C-alpha cells in the first residue's frame, strides 16, 4: 500500500494487530479504572475482554515472542520507517 505522499506503508500482520489493539484497549481500560474506579461499564468491558479475547491475544503474544531476535529487529525497523522508500526513488 502506498500513501498519498508516495511512501510505502507497512502494515501489521494478524498477530501484531491483535496484540496492538488489545494493548490500546487495556491501557484505556486501566486509565478508566483509575479515573472512575466504580464504573460498572468499565468493569464489564474488562471482564468481557478477559472472558472473550484474552486467550487469543495471549496466543498471538506467544507467537510474536517466539520470533528470532534478528527477525524482530528487522520488523521493528520496518514499522518505525527505517526502510521506508519514497516511490520513484532509487533504492
Predicted pLDDT of residue 5: 53
Q: How far apart are CA 29 and CA 67, in angstroms?
A: 29
What are the boundaries of each domain within the chain? Answer: 15-80
Per-residue confidence band for 79, with pLDDT thresholds at 50, 70 and 90: confident
Burial bucket for residue 63 (CB in 10 Å: 0-12, 13-18, 19+): middle
> What's the pLDDT tens digit per position in 19-44?
999 999 999 999 999 999 999 999 99
| Whole-prediction pTM | 0.74
Q: What percentage of the chain reaches a pLDDT higher than 70?
A: 79
User: Does residue 88 register a pLDDT over 70?
Assistant: no
Amino acid at each position: 500500500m502506498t500513501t498519498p505522499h508516495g511512501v510505502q506503508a507497512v502494515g501489521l500482520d494478524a498477530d501484531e494487530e491483535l496484540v496492538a489493539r488489545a494493548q490500546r484497549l487495556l491501557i484505556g481500560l486501566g486509565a478508566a479504572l483509575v479515573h472512575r474506579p466504580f464504573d460498572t461499564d468499565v468493569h464489564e468491558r474488562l471482564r468481557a475482554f478477559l472472558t472473550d479475547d484474552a486467550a487469543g491475544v495471549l496466543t498471538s503474544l506467544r507467537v510474536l515472542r517466539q520470533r528470532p531476535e534478528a527477525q524482530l529487529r528487522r520488523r521493528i525497523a520496518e514499522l518505525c520507517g527505517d526502510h521506508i522508500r519514497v516511490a520513484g526513488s532509487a533504492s
